Amino acid sequence: MEIPAAAAAAPVRSSLAPAPRWAVWCARLAAVVVLPSAVWRLVMVAGHPAGYTDEGFVAFDTFGAKLWMLTLTVLTELVVLLTLGLVKPWGEVVPRWIPVLGGRRVRPLAAVVPGALGAVALTGIWATIPLWWTHPHDDMTSAGNLIVGLLYQPLVLWGPLTAAVTYSYYARHRAAARSAAHTAG
């Protein structure tokens, strides 16, 4: 049996309730907390010492180091974009412009499992950043040490914010599944 072209092109719509306001704010805040460190890395990619002494910056003034910092910045922004997807319609249905998957529903566990694992990883990675100033940074200027420490402090929130948004996504899907089961039963 062949599906009519008009039916095949019909967009898949989400039957979920919209994300609660607190989850939207958490997702937006997650996007904001990564920006200061991302901008700092981009300044370094542009060739400015950004808080390092001339001698300390030498290691970062290579093609490989700049490529790594640029890649890290792009990956960071892509991960936070996925976090935003947990509260947006395109986190429920893959946008049509994406090859192969476009227009398909996102399976809840395909978002919840990576979101939860990411939240745990991010929390672990950034948990010690408040201790920045307890470690010597001999390759940085005094002002650079202070500024870079301040730019990285918001990252301590990234994991917990991701966890909150992931939980909201999970809870909305669970409620929708229960409602569908109740209606069908």
For residue range 45-76, list pLDDT tens digits in order.
999 999 999 999 998 899 999 999 999 999 99
Q: Which residues contact 41 (CB under 8 A, 6 or more apart)?
A: 69, 70, 72, 73
Give me the pLDDT at residue 102, please: 86
- State percent of the chain over pLDDT 70: 89
Considering only residues 7 and 170, tell me which one the structure prediction assigns the higher pLDDT: 170
Give me the pLDDT at residue 141, please: 94
For residue range 91-141, list pLDDT tens digits in order.
888 888 888 888 889 999 999 999 999 999 999 999 999 999 999 999 999
Angle between helices 158-184 and 21-33 (to 10 degrees): 150
CA distances (Å), 109 to each of 106, 139, 172, in order? 8, 44, 12
* C-alpha–C-alpha distance, residues 72 and 56, integer Å: 20
